[in-house]
Homo-oligomer: A and B are copies of this chain.
Amino acid sequence: MTTLWDRSRQVAVQEILDTALRLFAEQGYEHTTIAQIAREAGISQRSLFRYFGTKEDLVCGGQEALGELLKQTVRQQPAELSPWDALRAGFETILTADHTPERVLELSRLIFATPALHARYIEKRLRWQSELVPIVQARLAAPAAPAGPSPDPRAKAVVAAVFACVDTATELWAGSGGRLDLADLYDQCLAAVRDGG
């Protein structure tokens, strides 16, 4: 059952987030202090840190949920799909799952424009990215010498390369102001990596 605390918490989170993103857009991420966000959101600094552990989480906090969704979607793809197609299907799902493309665009712009945020974003992602590796591993053909002493780097590399393409596509998409098609860009990136000369 959802208690009043949960509900007001959700409202508070949304309000803080709106305030923070507005200020970030107005003055930039670095020139906005936690004190100012707390003041304008009508909350104490201490509580703000309770809602969002760090300043960066105000921007990069929503990642874990999407990652979880991606993982589940990839896992549920038919077994005969290649790792590439399964991952591609997962991203397709994420794209349609997030209902506010303009908010995503705003966040993406902010992240790509702020080096510290960009780095933090990637770092957070690397954490749950590794959880995709065993799922992808299961879809890879058995290596020539199975169960060798050294771990199989293939799944890890595939996942890393796919995310490299996602990042590249997202950056270009954000740079275009959302006018280009994100899925299209991703396909172009992957094609360049896999089929290029």
The smallest beta-carbon distance between A106 and chain B, in angstroms, is 20
A77 lies within 8 A of chain B by Cβ: no
Tell me whether A194 and B197 are in contact in the complex, defined as CB-CB below 8 angstroms, given that A153-B185, A160-B168 are known contacts: no
Q: Which stretch (A16-24, A91-99, A121-129) binds chain B?
A: A121-129
For this chain, the copies found in one complex come to 2
Contacts of A104 in B (CB 8 A): none
A122–B111 alpha-carbon span in the complex (Å): 14
Tell me whether A193 and B192 are in contact in the complex, defined as CB-CB below 8 angstroms, given that A123-B122, A126-B115, A164-B161 are known contacts: no
Which B residue sits closest to A185, measured CB to CB?
B153
Q: Is the CB of B122 within 8 A of A193?
A: no
Q: Which of A113-142 contact B (CB under 8 A)?
A: 115-116, 118-120, 122-123, 126-127, 140-141
Q: Which of A152-175 contact B (CB under 8 A)?
A: 153-158, 160-161, 163-165, 167-169, 171-172
Contacts of A197 in B (CB 8 A): 82, 140-141
Contacts of A163 in B (CB 8 A): 164
A176 lies within 8 A of chain B by Cβ: yes
A62 lies within 8 A of chain B by Cβ: no
A153–B167 alpha-carbon span in the complex (Å): 11
A180 lies within 8 A of chain B by Cβ: yes
Q: Is the CB of B115 within 8 A of A189?
A: no
Q: Is the CB of B157 within 8 A of A168?
A: yes
Contacts of A83 in B (CB 8 A): 196
* Apart from A122-B123, A157-B164, A157-B169: 18 A-B pairs, beta carbons within 8 A: A84-B196, A115-B126, A118-B123, A119-B119, A122-B122, A140-B196, A140-B197, A141-B197, A150-B172, A151-B172, A155-B192, A157-B165, A157-B190, A157-B192, A158-B196, A160-B167, A161-B164, A161-B193
A and B contact pairs by CB, cutoff 8 A, 24 listed: A115-B126, A116-B123, A119-B120, A119-B123, A122-B122, A140-B192, A141-B196, A141-B197, A150-B176, A153-B169, A153-B172, A153-B189, A154-B191, A156-B171, A156-B189, A157-B169, A157-B189, A157-B193, A158-B192, A158-B193, A158-B196, A161-B161, A164-B164, A193-B193
